[in-house]
Structure formats: C-alpha cells, structure tokens
A and B are shown apart, each in its own frame.
Chain A
Amino acid sequence: MRNKYDKPHDSVKEPLIHLVRRVDIPASKAWMIRIICVLLGMLVCALFIMSITSLNPVSVYASMFSGAFGTPRRIWQTLKDMAILLCIGIGLAPAFKLRFWNVGAEGQVLIGGLVCAAWMITMGGKLPNALMLVLMAVTAMLASALWGLIPAYFKSKYRTNETLFTLMMNYVALQLVEFFVDVWDKKQSHSVGIINGDTQSGWMPSLFGQQFAPAVLIVGALTIGMYFYLKNSKQGFEITVAGESENTARYAGISVSKVILRTMAISAAICGLAGFLEVSCVSHTISSLTAGGRGFTAIIVAWLGKFNPIAMTLITAILSFLSRGANQIASDFNFNTYASSILTGIILFFILASEFFINYRLVFRSKKGKERAE
C-alpha cells in the first residue's frame, strides 16, 4: 500500500524475501514445480529414514512400490482404495466448486453404508440379488442426499455456517452407525461381522473374476461424467458462477439457494454411493470404521485436484500408493505404523507446498539495491 507519503525507496529496509503472486504460470512450469516438490519430499523422507534407521532408502522405496503394485492382488487393492476415495472426492468437487464447504462426506458415506447394511441384514435372501443391489444403491444415495440437504437447507435459508454444520453431522452419523451395530449385533461383540457371508445377498458380483472391478468401473464412469457435468453442462456453469460470486449469479438470474440445494444433494448422493460401494462391493460390513477418515482425505483430493476430476484421479493415485506403500514398509522393515505415517505426511506436505510455489513467487532482495543503499 504505497502512497505518495511513503519514504523514498532507498531508506526503507527491504525484506530479504518477499512474495509476489504469480498471475499466469504456464502449465508446464506448474508441473515442473510439482515434480520438483515431490522429489524434494522423497529426499527429506530418505533423510528421515536414514536418520532413524540404518536402512537404505532405495530399498524402502522399492518396498513401497511392491506394497502398492507388487502382485495383481495388490494392484487391485490399490485400485479399490483409489476407487472409493476418488468417488468421495468426486462427490465433494461440485460442492467445493460452489464454495460450499462440505466437510460432511464422512457422515454421508456412513449413512449410505448404513442403509445398505440395513437392507442386507433385514432383507438378505428375501429378494433377488439384482433387485436388492438396485434398491440398496438408490436408497443409499437418497438417504445421503437427504442427509446432505439438511445443512444445505439451513445454509440457503438461514445462512448457517455449513463447515461446522456438515462437520457436526458426521458425529451424528457415527453415533447412528454405532447404535444400529448394537441393535443388529447378536453376539455381543460390538460388531455385525461380515453380513450374509453364506448367502452373499446384497454383495456386488465380481467382474472378470475381480471383486473390486465393478467399483472401479462405476467410479471411472462417474469421474468422466462429473468432468463433463462441471465443464459442459448448464448446471456446471451455474455452479461455477455462483461459486465465484453470488451477486454475479443473482444478476445473471441464477437462484443461488436452488443451486446450493441441488449441488449439495448431488454431492451427498455421490458420497452415499461411495458408502454403497464400500459395503456392497468391498467390505460387506458396517462399523464406525467404514468411512475410515476418507471423507476428510477426499477433501485434499478435491482441493489439490482443483475440482478437476481428471487431476483428482491422479492425486488419488498418489495417495493410495502412499498409503499402501507405507503399510508395506511398516511390515517389511518392522517400522511402527506411525513411522510410515510420518513419511506419508512429509510427501503430502511437499505436495501442498508445491501449490504455494505455483501461486507465489519468492523475490529476494536484490544485491544491486543493497549496494546502492550502502
């Protein structure tokens, strides 16, 4: 905020470093920064590994890679991790693009999963499996959409803070799951165990002999669909406009509250679908661990991917690889699991930092100016 009363430039002590916002950084340069940051992150991880153990970092990275891609089974496991996380991220993308901070994905996933489990437990074996799966998917998405509409309604009607509201709803969902687990638990073990293990009623059939293939395909299609929905559809345009500026949206004749309600219903329904996939295709059970924190991790996915489903796929791949790999090194090198979490944390920190350096440029105090001052 310089003005004419400012002292002349020479007499001001210029900071050693200051930040300048970058305006239009070429995509190639942005990706170069990202790659450099990831490499730096891996370097710091290597230093960390060497400082606390005497292990060779290269073999640790090899072990990480083998943990994620070492066998066909592990590749499918990694793909499955990706599919569920990406599904939640895809759900969050339209809400975030609207600047509606939906941090309630965790609860929306749980509600979807809970509805599926309810079908499987109460109606297992009484309906044809195909009908059962359709009913489970539809009701899971509806229930989650309703769950998401509650904070959306209060936001559009009373301007409540959606971040807090959706966050609190997570805990309500968690308690609901705990409650129903206790209702359904016949053996006093605080767990419903694997549901319909004998009849496999409500279980998604495997495709090409792969249990997780249906989930991977569904999420793949969903990702492409969301890409075009946000980019090419009228509703996607409305989200972009209302997200950038509510006033502009109003001026353009867009009903902001309608967009909020509609977008949040879609966002939560997709999270509910993730719950359906998790229960029906992956775990075949429900517990308070069903969402497993992925509702929060997906926020990073949506954010780092800048709500672009294709970029989000890439971010999910990195995260899933890190998580699988970290577990593998814990097992291979007798690390405590916390140590591998530290490695994951370091790499993520550098990925986040890369976004900073893409948006800002560091400017060092120039030597010339310094000399002149002396």
Chain B
Amino acid sequence: MKKFLTTALSVLTALSLTACSSSTPASDEAENNTDSSTENETVTTNGKIGVILVGDENEGYTAAHMEGIKKAAADLGIASEDIMWKYMIEENQACADAAEDLVDQGATLVISNSYGHQTYMQQVAANYPDVAFISMTGDTAAGSGLANFKNAFNQTYQSRYVSGVVGGMKLAELIENGEVSKEKTPDAYTADGDIKIGYVGAFPYAEVVSGFTAFYLGVKSIVPNVHMIVEYTSSWADQVAEGTTAEKLIADGCVIISQHADTTGAPAAIQAANESGKPVYSVGYNVSMLEVAPKAALTSASNDWSVYYNYAFKQWLDGKAMDIVTDWSEGYETGAVNITALGESCAAGTDAKVAEVEAAIKDGSLNVFDTATFTINGEAMTEETGCDLDFDGTADIFPVKDGVFYESNTKDGFRSAPYFGFIIDGIESNYNG
C-alpha cells in the first residue's frame, strides 16, 4: 500500500510540477542601480524597447497592443531586433522581474500593457531613473513624482458611444419593422415601457462604467426610451462566464447587448439566440465579432494603439523619452479609437449616421458626456460634481465644464485613465461579486 501511495504521489507531483513550471517566482527591484546607470547612458541615442504583456497573440486585448507596437515600429523604421517581448507576465512580482530583466538587456523604454502591472512598473521605474517606463491604462504616474513613469489610455469612450449609435440604429429598425413590440416581445420592455438593452461588464470600475455609460448614451441618442441592465463577470477574460452572462441578459429580454470583457463568449451566445429566432444583436469590443457572430454582430468598439506607440517611440528615437507626456489620451481626433467594420445586419443608413457622429466628435460639436443628456438620481451634473480618485471619501477633481463632463481630459491636467464612475438614471448595475 505504501509503495502504491509512493508511486501515486510521485505521479501526482510530477503532473503538478509540469503544470507549475511555467509560473515564474520572481522578484521586484534589485538594489544595485550601479551597474544599470552605465548601461543606460545610451538612452538618448539608442537602446531597445522592452514590452511586458499580460497575454500573448491568442488574447484579443494583448493582440491589439502587439499589433499597435509592430505597426508603429514599422512606420518609424525600428528594427524588430530592437524590440524585446515578454509574454504572459502575471500581475505580480513577475512583472517587476521582467522589467528589470529588460533593462538588464539594454531596454531604455519599457512598456507594460495591463493595469495590474502598474504597481511593479512604478517600483522598478523608481530604481532606474534613466529608463522610461510606460504603464498602459494605468493611473498613478502623475502622482508618483517620477519623471520617467508614464500612463496612457485611449479615449475609448468615444468609440463606445459610436458603437452605441450603431446599436441604437438597429434597435430603431427593429421597433419600426415590428420585430420588437410590446405584443411580440413583451420581455423586451420594462414596467415603465422602456426597451431593455444589456451589457456584459468585467468589474464595476470607472473604466468599465465610463465605457458602458458612453455606449448607453449612444443608443439613447437614437432611441430615447432605453433601459440598460449591466451584469458582471468579475474577470477581464472569461469565455464561459461571458457566455452565460449574455444568456442571462437574453433571457431578461435585452435586444442589444454590448460588452467590456475580452472574449467572444457573449457574441457567440447572442449569435446562437439570434439563430433560434430571437431579435437580439451584439456590439463587441477590441476585435470584430463577425467571425463568431456573422448575423448577430453589428460592430465592435475598438482602439488603434499604434497612434500612441507611434508618438512614444518617436519621442524615444529623438532622445526625448523622458518628455513623453505623463498622461496621454487621444480619441477620434487622431484615429486612436474606431469601430470595426459594420456587420450585414446593421440597419440601413448606419454608415452615414456613423460618419456624421464621428465627424461631430472630431470637431468637438458633439460631447459624449453632455450633462444635458443624462441625470443621476433625477438631477443633472453640475460643476460641483467631483470624482473621488483615491477613494478617501472626498472629491479630487471636478471634470464638469460648460455643461460637459470631460473624460480622460489630459489637456486640463487630469489623468488619462477613465474616471467617470457614476451610475446614471436608466442604467441598472447589478454587481454582487
């Protein structure tokens, strides 16, 4: 028996070891800044770019960053040997270790693509003042007091709004041709007679709230009486949970369902429901969902990260990496955000409407968070409305100006990461994780 146990245990452990061997027990900052300073004197003329990625090319969000980096590098003539990649870096000390290792290998610009990397990037940045560190989607650079630590975040809420317009156009069409009506689809209406739309969110953080509010306002600009139900998966990427959450929203009667979660779980579930004859359509995120949901997918809100990387790499090539703005945020104006190709199910005239809205956002005549278009607990936002960024109970910034809530307003010195964290009237946010 004992021999059996022994064998069984060694087999078990062998299995567990192969499962664990990819994990990287790693560390954060080393104290020896001395050897780094000599290596980093080349920062003004050359060096390499180090990239720390939370996933690899198989994960949509990371794939979009990789594409952006490669495009920007190709445009600027940066050789592929000058870019070092670290894939599948977990949001723990493995990130600090990866960052230090990149510096060791001659990186003078280090980029990480996930929010959770930020705390480790900041720690390493403090130890290597001659190397520029960029924590994408982060929010602590401005408060860190470090000249070599930067944040950047696209104004994704703009493309969210436009994707909402696409969804609104479809909804209006469905109502007009009678596919959605109180008689035919009673589930799609609330007790107050509003039409239900849904949203699969990851976490109830400002980044997500800002995105779904913009999406909701986009739909609402076309169909005024909409009610949005937001359900959360408590994960940025969970194929199964996103699918079941979408199924729940479909069962609730939602007609248009969008998402802030990184997989194709929701569009696939929506496509299945659509094929079974339910009028329900998907608005995706990051990548076009037409492949998994050819009939149900309308479009996806998306980012073109190459716009930022182009800017940052250019500064770096010019020896001005330290002058990269601490907080960078751009949108339609420079092409940093967009929506993916429209699906065949989109309503007639969507193309023209999208072009019109995009042009209005670009020239500033349309503001996504126009305080005249929404209320919170029945009241409109005023210039006294503040955002509590450090969660200490007091407002830190007041982003409302001239009837507009300015999101990611780096021009006025605000951070690039979204801070619109309000649940507005008409949105039902069901977080219980």
Q: Which residues of A are interface residues toward B (Cβ below 8 A)?
A: 71-74, 76-77, 80-81, 84-85, 99, 101, 103, 163, 186-191, 193-194, 197, 206, 209-212, 282-285, 287, 289-290, 292-294, 296-297, 299-300, 303, 319, 322-323, 326-327, 330-331, 334, 336-338, 340-341, 344-345, 348-349, 352
Residues of A contacting B205 in the complex (Cβ-Cβ under 8 angstroms): 188-189
Check B92–A341 contact: CB distance below 8 A: no
Q: Is B35 an interface residue (CB 8 A)?
A: yes
Interface residue from A194, A300, A352 paired with B119 (Cβ < 8 Å) = A194
| Given the contacts A211-B29, A296-B17, A349-B14, A331 and B22 also touching, CB distance less than 8 Å | no
Partner-contacting stretch, out of B79-87, B161-169, B256-264, B354-362: B79-87
Check B14–A300 contact: CB distance below 8 A: yes
The interface size of chain B toward A, counting residues with CB under 8 Å, comes to: 51
Check B32–A187 contact: CB distance below 8 A: no
Closest B residue, CB atoms, query A322? B21
Check B21–A345 contact: CB distance below 8 A: yes
How far does the Cβ of A358 sit from chain B's closest Cβ, in whole Å? 13
Check A331–B86 contact: CB distance below 8 A: yes
Interface residue from A187, A299, A323 paired with B16 (Cβ < 8 Å) = A299
Check B27–A293 contact: CB distance below 8 A: no
Interface residue from B13, B25, B97 paired with A84 (Cβ < 8 Å) = B25
The 0/1 profile, CB within 8 Å of A marked 1, for residues 380-421 of chain B is 000000000011000000000000000000000000000000
Closest A residue, CB atoms, query B144? A197
Residues of A contacting B17 in the complex (Cβ-Cβ under 8 angstroms): 296-297, 299-300, 348
How far does the Cβ of A369 sit from chain B's closest Cβ, in whole Å? 29
A selection of 9 A-B contacts at a CB cut-off of 8 Å is A72-B35, A188-B203, A193-B119, A211-B30, A290-B92, A293-B19, A297-B20, A334-B85, A348-B14
Residues of B contacting A284 in the complex (Cβ-Cβ under 8 angstroms): 28
Check A81–B25 contact: CB distance below 8 A: yes
Residues of A contacting B100 in the complex (Cβ-Cβ under 8 angstroms): 73
Partner-contacting stretch, out of B2-10, B182-190, B219-227, B278-286: B2-10
Interface centre among B5, B56, B97, B123 (most CB of A within 10 A): B97
Q: Is B351 an interface residue (CB 8 A)?
A: no
Query: How far, in angstroms, from A336 to B205 measured CA to CA in the complex?
Result: 31
Q: Is B308 an interface residue (CB 8 A)?
A: no
Residues of B contacting A293 in the complex (Cβ-Cβ under 8 angstroms): 16, 19-20, 23
Interface residue from B25, B26, B91 paired with A191 (Cβ < 8 Å) = B91
Residues of A contacting B21 in the complex (Cβ-Cβ under 8 angstroms): 297, 319, 322-323, 326, 341, 344-345, 348
Check A282–B20 contact: CB distance below 8 A: no
Check A212–B27 contact: CB distance below 8 A: yes
Residues of A contacting B391 in the complex (Cβ-Cβ under 8 angstroms): 186-188
Residues of B contacting A211 in the complex (Cβ-Cβ under 8 angstroms): 27, 29-31
Query: How far, in angstroms, from A197 to B2 measured CA to CA in the complex?
Result: 49
Closest A residue, CB atoms, query B204? A188
Closest B residue, CB atoms, query A215? B27
Interface residue from A85, A285, A323 paired with B24 (Cβ < 8 Å) = A323
Extra contacts besides A163-B9, A191-B91, A326-B22 (10): CB < 8 Å: A101-B9, A189-B115, A191-B116, A197-B119, A289-B91, A292-B25, A297-B17, A337-B56, A337-B88, A344-B18
| Given the contacts A77-B27, A285-B92, A209 and B203 also touching, CB distance less than 8 Å | no
Check A99–B2 contact: CB distance below 8 A: yes
Residues of B contacting A338 in the complex (Cβ-Cβ under 8 angstroms): 22
Query: How far, in angstroms, from A37 to B236 measured CA to CA in the complex?
Result: 43
Residues of B contacting A189 in the complex (Cβ-Cβ under 8 angstroms): 115-116, 205
Residues in B65-117 with C-beta less than 8 Å from chain A? 84-88, 90-93, 97, 100-101, 104, 115-116
Residues in B11-58 with C-beta less than 8 Å from chain A? 12-14, 16-32, 35, 56
How far does the Cβ of A241 sit from chain B's closest Cβ, in whole Å? 15
Query: How far, in angstroms, from A186 to B393 measured CA to CA in the complex?
Result: 11
Residues of B contacting A71 in the complex (Cβ-Cβ under 8 angstroms): 35, 104
Residues of A contacting B23 in the complex (Cβ-Cβ under 8 angstroms): 289, 292-294
Q: Which residues of B are interface residues toward A (Cβ below 8 A)?
A: 2, 5, 9-10, 12-14, 16-32, 35, 56, 84-88, 90-93, 97, 100-101, 104, 115-116, 118-120, 122-123, 203-205, 390-391
| Given the contacts A101-B5, A194-B119, A285-B119, A336 and B32 also touching, CB distance less than 8 Å | no
Query: How far, in angstroms, from A335 to B315 measured CA to CA in the complex?
Result: 30
Tell me the interface secondary structure of chain A in the complex: helix
| Given the contacts A211-B31, A297-B20, A323-B21, A194 and B120 also touching, CB distance less than 8 Å | yes
Residues of A contacting B10 in the complex (Cβ-Cβ under 8 angstroms): 303, 352
Closest B residue, CB atoms, query A335? B87
Residues of B contacting A334 in the complex (Cβ-Cβ under 8 angstroms): 85
Residues of B contacting A191 in the complex (Cβ-Cβ under 8 angstroms): 91, 116, 119
Query: How far, in angstroms, from A348 to B19 measured CA to CA in the complex?
Result: 12
Residues of B contacting A349 in the complex (Cβ-Cβ under 8 angstroms): 14
Check A331–B35 contact: CB distance below 8 A: no
Residues of B contacting A197 in the complex (Cβ-Cβ under 8 angstroms): 119, 122-123
Closest B residue, CB atoms, query A336? B56
Residues of B contacting A294 in the complex (Cβ-Cβ under 8 angstroms): 20, 23, 25
Query: How far, in angstroms, from A283 to B203 measured CA to CA in the complex?
Result: 26
How far does the Cβ of B407 sit from chain A's closest Cβ, in whole Å? 17
Residues of B contacting A289 in the complex (Cβ-Cβ under 8 angstroms): 23, 90-92
How far does the Cβ of A251 sit from chain B's closest Cβ, in whole Å? 18
Check B20–A74 contact: CB distance below 8 A: no
Interface residue from B2, B20, B32, B116 paired with A73 (Cβ < 8 Å) = B32
Residues of B contacting A322 in the complex (Cβ-Cβ under 8 angstroms): 21
Query: How far, in angstroms, from A71 to B35 measured CA to CA in the complex?
Result: 10
How far does the Cβ of A135 sit from chain B's closest Cβ, in whole Å? 23
Check A73–B30 contact: CB distance below 8 A: yes
Query: How far, in angstroms, from A284 to B28 measured CA to CA in the complex?
Result: 8
Closest B residue, CB atoms, query A282? B27
Check A299–B22 contact: CB distance below 8 A: no
Check A194–B123 contact: CB distance below 8 A: yes
Interface residue from A74, A287, A323, A331 paired with B84 (Cβ < 8 Å) = A331
Query: How far, in angstroms, from A70 to B22 measured CA to CA in the complex?
Result: 20
Residues of B contacting A345 in the complex (Cβ-Cβ under 8 angstroms): 18, 21
Closest 3 interchain pairs by CB? A293-B20, A193-B119, A296-B16
Query: How far, in angstroms, from A74 to B24 measured CA to CA in the complex?
Result: 13
Check A296–B20 contact: CB distance below 8 A: yes
Residues of B contacting A210 in the complex (Cβ-Cβ under 8 angstroms): 30-32
Residues of B contacting A336 in the complex (Cβ-Cβ under 8 angstroms): 56, 87
Check A327–B24 contact: CB distance below 8 A: yes
